Each structure stands twice: as C-alpha cells, then as structure tokens.
Structure 1
Amino acid sequence: MKKITLLFAFIFSMFILPIQVLAVDFSIDKTTIHSYLQENGDVKVTEQYTYTFDGDFNGITRTLIPKENTQITNFQAFESNQALNVEQDDNLYKIHRKGSDQKITIDLSYTIKNGVEVYTDMAEFYWPFFDSSNEATYHSMDIYIHPPKPTEQVLTLGYDQAYKTNTSDPDSVVHFAMGEVESGTNGDIRVAYDAVLFPSVTEINNTTIRDDILADQTKLEEQAHAYENRRALLKTIAPYVIAVFFIFLSVLLFKAWSKRKQTQWEAQRRSALSQSLASNEMSLPANIYYMHPSSPGGELISASLLDLVRKGYVEQAGENEFIVVNKSTEHQHEQLLINWLFYEIGENGHFTLKDIESYIGNKENHSVYREDFDTWFKAVRAEVNKKHLSETKKGLRWTVGVSSILLIPFTISLGVHSLFMWMSTSIILNLALLLFAILYQPKTVQGLRIKQQWQTFSSSYDTISWKEWNNWLNDEQMQAFIYSVGTGNKQLKNKSESLFKGLSSSMMNYSGIQTNEVLVFILLSNMMTEEFNEANTTVYAHSTGGVSGGGSGVGGGGGGSGAF
C-alpha cells in the first residue's frame, strides 16, 4: 500500500509541477507585430515586446525560422531608440540587455525577403510568426498586416490560435487580435491582396489563389462546426463514461480491501500460534529482502555473512577474519556467498575486509564482482519467489490494464475538445486503473503473516527490556541483531548493541563468539557494511542522455521567444 501511495504522489507531481524549470523567470506581457508588405514582395517587420523579469537576466531571445525561398535579413534590436547588441546563432537571435527585477520594452526590426507570393489574381502573405516549438506564453498578442496601398480586395484567414481573430479596417490593414497565445501552439496567419499592388515582383506563379483561400476558409468553418458537434456529444456522454469506470474501479478496490482484511485476519490467527521471532520457512537474508525489496546494498551482504556465522558455516578467526568450517549449506545463495567471499575475493576459505579493498583495487575484477553479486542476489530473490508469498492475479491485472488503455483515446478526445474538467477526472481514473494493473499482487496468508511478524518485532523491539531479551534463546538474539544490520534500521541496531553490551560473561558463549568479543563483533558489522557499500559504489556506474526539437510552422517556418 505504501508503494502505491508513493507512486501516486510521484505521478501526480508530474502534472502539477512545471514541465521545465527555466533558468530565467519571466513573462511576456505584451506583443505587437506590424508587417509592412512592400511592392517588391519583401516584408518589413517591426515587433515590440514587453517583458517582466523576476530576478537577474541577461537579455531576451527571438527565434525566426524562415519559410522555403525566403530569408531573414537586417535584424536589429532597440530599447528607447538605443541600439542593443545582437548575437545570431543560426535562427536564434540573442538580444543582450542585462538587468534584475525589471519590466522592459524591446523593439525588433527585420526584413523577410520574398515574403509575399504573387499569383495571377492575388498576392498572399502566409506566415508563422511562432510555432509549436515556442516555449514561452504570449499573454497578449496583436499582429497587423499593412498592404502597400489600400484596396477593396482583401482575403484573410487565421489558423489554429489565429482562427477567427482577424478583422480588417477601411485602409485594408488586417488585425489579428490573438490575445493569450500559450506556449507549444501554432497560429499561422494568411492575408491576400490584389496582385496589382506588387508590380515590382518578377517571379509570379502562373495560377490563381483566390479559390484556394476560399476553399480553405470553407474547410476551416466546416471543421469548426464538426468540432463543436463532437464537443457537445462528448460533453453529454462524458459523465456516463466516467461513472462506469469509476464504479468499475470502486468495485476493484472494495474487493481488494475485503480480500486483504480476510487475509490479515487469517495471518493474525496463525501468528498467534507461533511465538518465535521469525518464521523458519525462509532464511534470514530472504526474510530481510522480503521486508526491504529495494536495491540490495552492503547491509544485506553483511547480514548474510553474519548469518553464516550464526548457523555455524563460518567462524570468526580474528578481529576482521572469517574462516569456512562447513560448506554443506542449506540454501543455494549461502553456497554462492561462501564461494564468492571466501574463494573469489578471499583465498582458500579465508576472508578479511582487506581482501575487499585489494580485490576492488584491481579494475579488471569489477565486472566479475558485479556478476557474482548479481548471481548471489538473484538466488536470494529466488528463495523468496519460490515461497509464493504474493498472488500474481495475471488475469485480473490484464483485464484492468486493457480497460485503462481503452480509456486513453477517450481522455485524449476530451482534452482535444477543451473539456478539461472531464479530461482531468479521466486521467486520474486511467492512472488509478493502470497502477492497479501494475501493482496489484496481494500477499498470501503466509506472506502477510511473515510480514506482520517482522513488523511487530520492529515496532516492539525498541521497548523490550534487557531482562526480557535475555530470556530469549541465543539464536533469536542473533537473529534480531542480524535483522537490524540487514535492514539498515539504525534504531533497531542501536537497541541490539545496547542489549548485547548488557550481557555478562557468564550468560553468553555462542557459535565461538566469546562475550568479550561481542563488542568487536558489533563494530565489525559496521565496518563490513561500509566496506561492501563502498565496493558496490565503485563497481556500479550510471549514465544519462537528452533530446532536442525544432519548428513546425507553415512551409517549414516558425519561431518563438524567450530570455536568458
């Protein structure tokens, strides 16, 4: 249950936290773009940006990706008519202007060579001033298109974010009042004027464009009408679809809860019949792994070595030396551990902590160390798996997993049609079903009983008196100490150490460990754990990588804004 809660919290944080943490905290409050179409087909553009910065900054950026057969030239930047330094890197322009906690207004100007395409009937300016690669939101954007001269023949069209934002005034100036434009969106603008306004253009397409624009306009209107119809339908059926999946999830959770309660009751009943510290059905390393199934570290290796001493397979020969006295072990992982530590790292059945240092000091041994470690750990895990302490429930989990997949297209449709409340609810249901399918492996009575025994031990061990603990069998005392070492629980380990210190010389002589050697034994366990952890850190390495993207406007063009 704890794992499910943590995973839920992690996935939820992915939705509520920003996807990208920007190096500079800023907002683009106001954006105004004027495009002046020239008689020769060029377009002179002026842009004005108002930024608000929170913290230090070095300037702003503007990405301009030209369309095919066009070119961006004469890019300049000003603040209050004062020229600013511009650094160009391909399509990225960095305008240098340092400051801190400030609102600034920057003016940009540039020319789009061959920005106007002329046909036999009309000439059009079809341009993406930004595209989906843009990572900043424009909180208020206005784009104006100015013809060379006023004319009555004007066709205008906006796509995506620019759709139905366009108007034209008596002087044929077209205004796209786009308002807030979110990052990662497209918004191409398209304006066509009478071709006679561009007499200096020499390259003329020998075809007409008016009918294409009108057809595109009709197509967009039809798409918008179909979109509204689909949205209305989805809005109607969404509550019913969500309700069905919610009921399905509720039934699953109720049945899982009921089954867990029944299993808990039976596990508690059987635990009451056994007063021993831990079940004899698994080895102590397997019990430790079962209770703490995260990536194994030096704690588990140290505990496993100490357990070999407890069971009489290994003896402590000195302050930091161990000797194999019996190779006929009960479990495969015990045999593997002996071969690894005493014959691979150590020599002829002898093992010391210095052997680890010298072995790891040779880099050629690193790959062998990893292989031996993985082989040993897989054997420990195999012992746990053979006990079938959890039910796989493959049929149920596959059914739930498929149902969660079936909900994904519906969730996407809700988002595409701006039904965000229902989309959010659907995402939560989808994740809940997916998590159930991935994580639902209820413990058997045996598995839950073992878990309860160790949990009870961990919660009550700290309050046990020295007198009560001294009444335990020596074997149970050692199990308690080794378990505290293997789990890395400092509270349990400190308690064990304080209890061992209270023993008198007449009370303990166990497995060749004399009472006056107990404190050395405790100290040695700490040294072993540190040594094995250091060895694991040395031989295991990790690496990471990344990706990047680009523009997606009409004709390969596009752009965006930012800061640095």
Structure 2
Amino acid sequence: MKNLLIMLAFVFSLLLIPVQALAVDFTIEETRIDAFLQENGDVQVKEQHTYEFDGDFNGITRTLIPKEDTDIQNVKAFEDNKPLKVDQEGNLYKIYRGGSDERITIDLSYTIQNGMDVYSDLGQFYWPFFDSGNESTYENMDIYVHPPQPTDGVYAIGYDEAEGSDSISADGIVHFALGEVDSGEKGDIRAAYDSSLFPGAVTIEGETIRGEIQDEVAAYEERLEAFNDRKDTLSKLAPFVIVIFAVYLTALLVSAWRRKRATLWEVQRQAGHHSHLPEKQMSLPATILHMKHMAADGNLLSAALLDLVRKGFVARKNENEFVVSEHTTDHPHEKVLIQWLFYKVGKDGVFTVDALDEYVEDKENQQSYHEKFTQWVEAVKTEIKQHSLVDKKAGLRWTVAISGLLLIPFTILFGVHDLLMWMFFSLLLAISLLLFALIYQPRTVEGARLKYQWNNFSSNYHSIDSERWSEWMSDDQMQAFIYAIGMNDKNMLDKNEKLAGKKSPGHDSFTTSSSDLVMLMIISGTITNRFNSADQTVSAGTGGSSIPGGGSGVGGGGGGSGAF
C-alpha cells in the first residue's frame, strides 16, 4: 500500500510539471512548400521542413486545418525517401523521427481535396498554410504554386505576412518568398489562373472573380506606390531631423557639463584641501543617503542606528542590547527609526540583534519590516529635500522630454518604411533626450560643496595618523566611523579598524571610544546582513502561463508546425 501511494504521488507530480519544462528546443531553419494544382480542382502539396534540434526529440508536428468544403487526405512523411510513421490527432499530425542534437529534413506530402475555387473566368488557390495559432517561427519560408501546365495571365496576391512577397515566373509558377515568419503570425496566399486549366473541377457557374482580383491587385499596387513615395520623402527628410535633434542634444550636454564645471570650480575656490571632518549641513544618515545617490541599503540602516548611539538618543547596554534613553530627537526620521526598531521590532524601547533575527524569521513580519524601512528612508529623503542640494530644472526637463517624445512618431515612420538606419538614430536620440529629462538635476553650489568635501575627506582619510586621529574629539571619530559604515567604504573601514585598535597617547589601554567603535562595527555587520536577508525574502517572483490560440485564416483554414 505504501509503495502504491509513492507511485501515485510520483505520477501526480509529473502531471504538474509545466508544459514548457517538457518542451523540445528546436529551430525550423528552412521551409519550402510546393502546391501543384490539379485539373480536377485538387491540390497536391509537398512540404520540406529542416529542423535544428538542441537536445532529445521524438519527432515533429504539423497542424493542417482544412477550409470549409475541403479535406486533407493521404498525409505521408519521408526522410531521404524513407517513410516515417505518422499519427493523426484531429488536425494535428505527429511524424515520428527521434534523435538528439541533430539537423534533420522531413518531407511531407498530402492532398487538399477540392482545394481550388473554380469560377466561370478564373480558378483560384486561396489558402493559409499557417495561421495565428502557429507557435513556432519559420526562419525562412518559401511557397510555390504550380499550375497544371505553363500559362500566362496569372494573378497573385499575398496577405498579412505574405503581402508583397509574390513574383510570377514566365511559365506561370507563383513564388511567395516570405522569409522569416514569426510565431503567431498569419499569411494567406492567393493565385488565380484561367478556368480552362481546370476542366475536371466543379465550376461555380454564373460567378466571376477576375474583377475582384484585379481591383485587389490595383489597390495593392496603389498602396505600394504611395508607400514608396512616402519612403522617398522620409529618406530625404530624415537627415535633417536627425542632425537637428543631434545638435540639440549636444548643446544640452555641453551646457550641462559647463554648468557642472563652473559649480565645481566655485566649490574648489572656497574649499581648502584637508582631511578633517567636513562641517555638517545635514544629519549623517541624510548625508550618506545623498552621497549614495538615494540608494538605501542595510549599511545605511546600521549607520543610522549608530548615529542614534552617538547622539545619546540610544544607549548600548551590552554587546547585544540597545535601549532608548531620549525620546526627543533632532529629526523626524530619527523618531521614525526609534519607533520602528525599538517598539516594533523590539519591545518597550529595547532593541536586540536576537529580536531582529526572530522578527525577520517570522514571514508575517517581513512585509511590515520592508514597509517600515521604506517609510524611514522617505523621512530621510524629506530632510535632504529641505536643503535644496539639487536644482530640479523642471521647466528645462519638461521641454527636453517633450522634444524627445516628438521623435517617437519619426521613429515609427522610419521603421514602418524600412528606413532602419534612420529609425535606429531616431530611437537613440529619443531615448537619450528622455533619459536627460529624467535624470538631469544638477547640484547647487551647496550640494556640490557637500559632495566635494565628503569625497575629499574619504579619499584623504588614509593619510591620517593615529596621533592626529587621537586629537579629534570622540564625536568626530564616531562620525567618521559611521560615515564609513554607511558608505561601505572598505578603505575607511580598514583605517578605522587600525586607528581604533591603537593606544591613545598617554594611555596604557584602548580608549572607551575605540572599544565602542570595534564593538559597534561587529553589531552593525549583523544588522546589515539581517536586513538584506529580510529584503530578499520579501521579494518574491511571480509566474504565468499562456494557452495556445486556435486556427484562423481564409475560410477557417490554417495550420502550424512544432516538435515533440
């Protein structure tokens, strides 16, 4: 009984495996279809499909959906003139030819009974060899329609993917050179010959189609002529459009670069080159977030907690425990952080690393944790916005964005009219202008000064010796350490570790501030790791599935190809 249950569970699990997981990896490299029109109105069809398989396979499939009042008969398959087994399941034919990592060519033949529509004046073959239900891409497809005997006065029209692909040879053979046909596309073909070529076919008396076909051919030629006229006009217009917008974009970039250089020059003129801690314009968390281009992470969170300790709002009770000691804070985001970590994650104003671990491990808390983190980050950003560190340039950015959008119609027109080079340049310029409008927010002098001073401080920090560092106030030492934690600056962290591990002049042991720095460094690493772990857990991917569509085409016919 136990073995039976195991077997049933195994079979049930196989049924749950998605179809995509069992799909065969293949490419249909070449497809040639020859339709030989018969005097009795039937059509003998020979197809040749070349497949390239990657991995194991059992064979190929061909869906043949007949039109109304027609029938598909005598379907056979061959490889090198050797017959292959064919199974029919409704309109689906499975041709068995197994293998692995091979390139194979399969020949298929069948008869379309009553495939011709013969009228008093013309007999037409109007057929969809594939339709929108096809799930495979044909890399290169050619369709040939052969009359019962050489003739002239032939009409040919292609629809959808086959439009404009037709050519007629001197003996009346119509060639539809479709090239690549993507999956999900349709493309009916239509070839018409004098009705006298089909003496054995049932004729639809009293009806003619020559005028209808001539009108369609004339309409297509008129559309083609209009298309070529538009293409010629656009090809002449394109260089002017591209040059104008390219000059405009270049002028914007040069202007932005010159403004940046002028602002930086002013900052350098006012600032001295030193490695001392810069004068604070904002809180440390806000400074760090601004320097990180608004990219918040676990390092920023650790730095913010340490900054609460530095300010005395939070006391470190022991190696694992922090306690709120002051509820009056300097900034709203500090209050948000205390409420979150000490009353949401922790309890009654006490926060421990163990409590953080327990809170994050509970799946019901993970979304709340992420939301609170986002709320805190937004509060920090609010402080940054109050200092006007960047110039929004709203008017200029809207103007640039509109000018970028003006290029979209040109991009579409160039693409539709096969002007691919101009389409590429137009799309590139449109994207560049829209990106400029999206991200261009130049720093003000205050913003540039803040960035310059802190970059200068971090780059020169390695040159500070222990004697000079010991002359700093413990608060400056702590700020330098917190900045390094928040920025995840490896060089500054290594230097801090060396400086904190040295004895201060005139002392026989580590200073209290030094030991605190080392201990808080360890704890901050734990907090950072736990937050990153929680963020990864909350982020969950979603999947979907699709159901293949049914056949569609002229008169309800169609088909497609595949493999199994």
- Same fold by TM-score, threshold 0.5 exceeded? yes
**Aligned residue in 2 for 1:19:** none
Counterpart mapping for 1:123-162 below 5 A: 123-130=123-130, 136-139=137-140, 141-147=141-147, 154-159=154-159, 161=162
**Aligned residue in 2 for 1:167:** 168
- Per-residue CA deviations over 1:233-257 (Å, capped at 9, x if unaligned) read 1111211111111111111111111
Q: CA deviation at 1:122?
A: 2.6
**Aligned residue in 1 for 2:299:** 299
Distance across 1 between alignment mates of 2:442 and 2:48: 62
**Aligned residue in 1 for 2:494:** 494
Q: 1:104 to 1:534 in 2, by over 3 A?
A: closer
CA contact (8 A) 1:62 1:559 kept: no
Distance across 1 between alignment mates of 2:87 and 2:289: 58
TM (normalized to structure 1)?
0.83
Q: 1:122 to 1:358 in 2, by over 3 A?
A: same
TM (normalized to structure 2)?
0.83
Distance across 2 between alignment mates of 1:552 and 1:456: 68
**Aligned residue in 1 for 2:175:** 176
Q: How high is the sequence identity, in percent, across the aligned residues?
A: 45
**Aligned residue in 2 for 1:231:** 231
Q: 1:516 to 1:440 in 2, by over 3 A?
A: closer
Distance across 1 between alignment mates of 2:560 and 2:279: 65
Q: CA deviation at 1:130?
A: 4.3
Q: 1:513 to 1:156 in 2, by over 3 A?
A: same
**Aligned residue in 2 for 1:522:** 521
**Aligned residue in 1 for 2:319:** 319
Q: How many residues align?
A: 537
**Aligned residue in 2 for 1:189:** 189
- Per-residue CA deviations over 1:306-362 (Å, capped at 9, x if unaligned) read 110011111111111111111111000111111111122222221111112333344
CA contact (8 A) 1:134 1:559 kept: no
Distance across 2 between alignment mates of 1:563 and 1:147: 32
CA contact (8 A) 1:508 1:514 kept: no
CA contact (8 A) 2:276 2:457 kept: no
Q: 1:316 to 1:219 in 2, by over 3 A?
A: same
Distance across 1 between alignment mates of 2:91 and 2:383: 60
Q: 1:256 to 1:544 in 2, by over 3 A?
A: farther
Q: CA deviation at 1:498?
A: 2.4
Distance across 2 between alignment mates of 1:407 and 1:556: 41
- Per-residue CA deviations over 1:152-202 (Å, capped at 9, x if unaligned) read 6643234555626422454x5x23062744647765421123446667766
Q: 1:26 to 1:279 in 2, by over 3 A?
A: farther
Counterpart mapping for 1:38-187 below 5 A: 38=38, 41-51=41-51, 56=55, 58=57, 61=60, 64=63, 66=65, 69=68, 75-84=75-84, 95-99=95-99, 102-112=102-112, 115-130=115-130, 136-139=137-140, 141-147=141-147, 154-159=154-159, 161=162, 163=164, 165-168=166-169, 170=171, 172=172, 174-176=173-175, 178=177, 180-181=179-180, 183=182, 187=187
CA contact (8 A) 1:48 1:105 kept: yes
**Aligned residue in 2 for 1:403:** 403
Letter in 2 for 1:538: T
1:535 aligns with 2:534: yes
CA contact (8 A) 1:322 1:350 kept: yes
Distance across 2 between alignment mates of 1:104 and 1:414: 39
Q: Secondary structure at the match of 2:327?
A: coil
Greater displacement, 346-355 / 35-44: 35-44
**Aligned residue in 1 for 2:19:** none
Distance across 2 between alignment mates of 1:452 and 1:515: 28
Q: 1:254 to 1:485 in 2, by over 3 A?
A: same
Greater displacement, 209-218 / 449-458: 449-458
Distance across 1 between alignment mates of 2:206 and 2:457: 88
Distance across 2 between alignment mates of 1:506 and 1:74: 103
1:263 aligns with 2:263: yes
Runs of 5+ in structure 2 lacking a partner? 1-22
Q: Secondary structure at the match of 1:178?
A: strand
**Aligned residue in 2 for 1:416:** 416
Q: CA deviation at 1:48?
A: 1.0
Distance across 2 between alignment mates of 1:508 and 1:93: 90
Q: Secondary structure at the match of 1:319?
A: coil
Counterpart mapping for 1:318-397 below 5 A: 318-397=318-397
**Aligned residue in 2 for 1:12:** none
Distance across 1 between alignment mates of 2:346 and 2:506: 34
Greater displacement, 396-405 / 308-317: 396-405
Q: CA deviation at 1:393?
A: 1.4
Measured on the aligned residues, the alpha-carbon RMSD in Å equals 3.6
Q: CA deviation at 1:93?
A: 5.8
